[in-house]
């Protein structure tokens, strides 16, 4: 048969700790999943926003170029324009506003991040793209209508020169070291130039790998405020009938011919091959086409394709962004905040666990106190009630002498007095719960100790006990509770001191020590608990086992502490003020 009421199982510290740690693990797991999804959504929103802007801006610029150029010149300008300005730059800002902790994903410079652009005719041929190429903007005079002004290309496929192939190879070796801080640049001093075909070949110059310095690093290239990591000079000697060797000048205010953007730009040919399917993908039934594909290596490709008419011929402009969601910066950012969240949650869980444990421990202690109080009080009241019942039955029989009747009546009165004292002391103990702030006053500890001894004068004389009070001090305490401390400690000492024993009270500024002689060593571990009387001698002394409990509760009420100890000859109660 099942019990009607099942006793509620108590939570121990290990159980509570396991519960809170499991909760912290679940919260951390939820945050980790949610944070990862948030990063993906945030990056995706920036990619979509930038690819839309890039497409719209490129369409506008192609329309503008179509109004100025035509034929091969127009396609060259579009080709260079796609190469020079096709990129994405995604920033995930640090929540604490620390710029050095921001995540920046840039096409080509970030691992596995690429940006492709192509102009495709109706036959599916790529007529312009952002494939890596040497380019330069050359200007030979102030005349903006000069046909020689504009973009110049060093097209290695068209030139088919070993020297140009080697120049590309050297640059690509240097550019392979590019990342967030490192940049490969080329300074061209002289070049072979063909103004009619807008072609050029760098003749003499320097390739440099520079690095954005961190705080405290020595700058070598002080003019550009960069640290030079590697330098490689080149010198190409060619004999070309259609090309003119000229000296190029760079910088504001320099002499003509002026040269700008004289370095390779665009995506590596190998990277653009990944976009071949996206370049030719388009929806003829729609004005524009969108595409998105997630890859197993953690990258995602976004495609935006729009039609455009040039010289009444239809072309498709396609922009493709590949973003690496497993970029080392992004991974560090993710784990940095996930671990920070986990540490915070675990610390909070430990704090809440300890708080819950402390509250539960107090609650359980109070429940134990109430149960013990009820059980012991019922047990201790049962003894005098049994005695009273027995005396009453004897009196009711009526066959007693006057002396016996007087004896039984006195026994009944003594047991009633003991029961009343037990109940009053228990109620007094319950009232010392600290719910009311005690009204403290200055009291003379020595005088109150002497008054307490005077109450026990008959018992002291009967047991031939010697006592002394040494020293005195003023104590700031609540009178009734402080008197209760002295009465219970001195009363216990008088009750348990053997005949012809001694009680000594020593009072100093910080301590009141009450020492009494004993016949044997007493275990004091649980002596301050309710209804605990210690050894057999103390158990048979007629006390209720509440004296030390009441004394300790009264001491705590006034901010004091009570410690007890015992050896073979003396029992000591030390009240620390």
Q: What is the pLDDT of residue 537?
A: 41
Higher pLDDT, 455 or 464: 464
Least trusted range by pLDDT, from 1-15, 143-157, 170-184, 349-363: 1-15
Distance CA 438, CA 412 (A): 38
Let me know: does 482 contact 448? Beta carbons within 8 Å. yes
List the structure tokens of 113.
């991040």
Percent of the chain surpassing pLDDT 90: 37
Average pLDDT rounded to a whole number, residues 127-139: 90
Structure tokens at 566: 């015992």
Average pLDDT over residues 478-507: 88
Q: How many residues does the chain have?
A: 577
Higher-scoring residue by pLDDT: 403, 378: 403
Q: 168 near 286, Cβ under 8 Å?
A: no
Q: How confident is the model over 270-291, as pLDDT tens digits?
A: 888 888 777 665 555 455 578 8
Helix 479-496 to helix 547-557 angle (10° resolution) is 150
The residues with which 301 forms a beta bridge, in sequence order, are: 293, 322
Least confident segment among 51-65, 455-469, 523-537: 523-537
pLDDT, position 534:
52
Residue 222: its pLDDT value, please?
46
pLDDT of residue 514: 94
pLDDT band of 433, cuts 50, 70, 90: low
Mean pLDDT to the nearest integer, 388-408: 80
Confidence of residue 540 (pLDDT cuts 50, 70, 90): very low
Average pLDDT of the residues in 112-119: 92
Mean pLDDT for the stretch of residues 456-461: 83
What pLDDT is stored for residue 95 in this prediction? 86
Which pLDDT does position 532 carry in this prediction? 56
pLDDT of residue 517: 92
Average of pLDDT values for 391-395?
A: 81
HEC string for 380-412: HHHHHHHHHHHHHHHHHHCCCCHHHHHHHHHHH
Least trusted range by pLDDT, from 46-55, 153-162, 319-328, 416-425: 416-425
d(CA 224, CA 499): 102
Look at 129-138, 173-182, 296-305 and tell me which has the smallest mean pLDDT.
173-182
pLDDT higher than threshold 90 for residue 226: no
Report the pLDDT value the prediction gives residue 276, as an integer from 0 to 100: 77
pLDDT at residue number 539: 43
Q: Which residues contact 109 (CB under 8 A, 6 or more apart)?
A: 178, 179, 180
Lowest mean pLDDT among 141-155, 272-286, 472-486, 563-577: 272-286
Residue of 191 and 388 predicted with greater confidence: 191
Q: What local confidence, expressed as pLDDT, does residue 538 receive?
A: 42
For residues 479 and 540, the model is more confident at: 479
Q: What angle do CA 96, 101, 105 make, to 5 degrees?
A: 120
Q: Is the pLDDT of residue 528 over 90?
A: no
For the chain, the average pLDDT equals 84
Percent of the chain with pLDDT over 70: 85
How large is the angle between the packed helices 71-85 and 13-66, nearest 10 degrees? Answer: 160
CB 467 within 8 A of CB 504: yes
Question: Does position 386 have pLDDT exceeding 80, yes or no?
Answer: no
Q: How confident is the model at residue 393 (pLDDT cuts 50, 70, 90)?
A: confident
Q: What confidence tens digit (pLDDT) does each residue in 85-101 have?
A: 898 999 998 888 887 78
Residue 462 pLDDT level (bands cut at 50, 70, 90): confident
Confidence class for position 552, pLDDT limits 50, 70, 90: confident
Q: What is the pLDDT of residue 10?
A: 77
Spatial separation of the C-alpha atoms in residues 279 and 319, rounded to whole Å: 8
Read off the pLDDT of residues 158-184 as tens digits, 9 standing for 90 and up. 888 999 999 988 988 888 887 767 888
Is residue 402's pLDDT more than 50? yes
Position 340 confidence tier, pLDDT thresholds 50, 70, 90: very high
Range list of H helices, 251-327: 269-273, 276-280
| Cβ proximity of 77 and 150 under 8 Å | yes
pLDDT, position 333: 94
Higher pLDDT, 404 or 307: 307
Average pLDDT over residues 333-359: 93
How high is the pLDDT of residue 550?
Answer: 75
Of the candidate ranges 19-23, 185-189, 393-397, the one whose mean pLDDT is the lowest: 393-397
**Domains defined for the chain, CATH in brackets:** 133-265 (no CATH), 432-576 (3.30.565.10)
- pLDDT of 221 strictly over 80: no
- ω into residue 396 within 30 of 0, thus cis? no
């Amino acid at each position: 048969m099942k019990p009607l009421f099942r006793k509620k199982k108590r939570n121990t510290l290990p159980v509570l700790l396991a519960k809170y740690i499991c909760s912290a693990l679940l919260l951390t797991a939820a945050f980790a999943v949610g944070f990862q999804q948030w990063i993906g959504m945030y990056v995706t929103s920036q990619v979509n926003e930038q690819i839309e802007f890039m497409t719209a801006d490129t369409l506008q610029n192609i329309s503008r170029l179509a109004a100025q150029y035509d034929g091969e010149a127009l396609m060259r300008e579009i080709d260079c324009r796609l190469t020079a300005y096709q990129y994405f730059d995604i920033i995930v800002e640090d929540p604490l506003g620390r710029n050095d902790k921001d995540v920046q994903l840039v096409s080509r410079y970030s691992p596995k991040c690429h940006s492709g652009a192509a102009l495709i005719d109706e036959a599916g041929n790529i007529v312009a793209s952002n494939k890596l190429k040497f380019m330069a903007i050359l200007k030979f005079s102030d005349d903006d209508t000069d046909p020689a002004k504009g973009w110049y290309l060093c097209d290695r496929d068209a030139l088919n020169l070993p020297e140009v192939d080697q120049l590309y190879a050297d640059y690509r070796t240097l550019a392979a070291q590019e990342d967030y801080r490192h940049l490969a640049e080329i300074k061209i001093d002289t070049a072979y130039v063909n103004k009619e075909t807008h072609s050029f070949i760098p003749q003499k110059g320097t390739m440099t790998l520079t690095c954005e310095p961190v705080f405290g690093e020595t700058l070598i290239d002080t003019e550009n405020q960069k640290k030079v990591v590697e330098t490689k000079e080149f010198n190409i000697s060619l004999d070309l009938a259609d090309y003119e060797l000229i000296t190029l000048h760079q910088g504001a205010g320099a002499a003509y011919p002026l040269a700008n953007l004289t370095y390779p730009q665009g995506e590596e040919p190998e990277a653009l091959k990944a976009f071949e399917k996206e370049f030719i993908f388009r929806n003829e039934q729609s004005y524009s086409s969108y595409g998105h594909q997630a890859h197993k290596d953690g990258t995602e490709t976004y495609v935006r394709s729009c039609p455009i008419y040039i010289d009444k011929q239809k072309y498709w402009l396609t922009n493709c962004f590949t973003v690496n969601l497993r970029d080392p910066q992004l991974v560090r950012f993710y784990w940095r905040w996930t671990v920070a969240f986990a540490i915070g949650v675990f610390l909070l869980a430990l704090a809440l666990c300890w708080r819950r444990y402390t509250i539960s421990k107090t609650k359980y202690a109070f429940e134990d106190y109430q149960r013990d109080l009820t059980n012991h009080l019922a047990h201790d009241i049962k003894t005098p009630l049994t005695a009273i019942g027995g005396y009453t039955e004897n009196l009711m029989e009526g066959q007693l002498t006057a002396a016996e009747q007087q004896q039984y009546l006195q026994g009944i009165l003594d047991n009633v007095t003991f029961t009343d004292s037990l109940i009053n002391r228990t109620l007094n103990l319950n009232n010392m719960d600290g719910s009311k702030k005690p009204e403290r006053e200055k009291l003379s500890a020595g005088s109150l100790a002497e008054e307490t001894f005077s109450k026990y004068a008959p018992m002291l004389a009967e047991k031939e006990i010697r006592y002394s009070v040494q020293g005195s001090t003023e104590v700031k305490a609540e009178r009734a509770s402080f008197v209760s401390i002295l009465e219970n400690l001195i009363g216990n000492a008088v009750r348990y001191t053997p005949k012809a024993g001694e009680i000594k009270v020593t009072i100093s500024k910080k301590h009141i020590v009450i020492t009494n002689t004993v016949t044997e060593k007493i275990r004091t571990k649980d002596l301050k608990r309710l209804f605990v009387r210690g050894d057999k001698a103390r158990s048979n002394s007629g006390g209720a086992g509440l004296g030390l409990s009441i004394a300790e509760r009264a001491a705590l009420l006034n901010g004091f502490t009570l410690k007890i100890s015992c050896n073979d000859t003396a029992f000591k109660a030390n009240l620390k003020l």
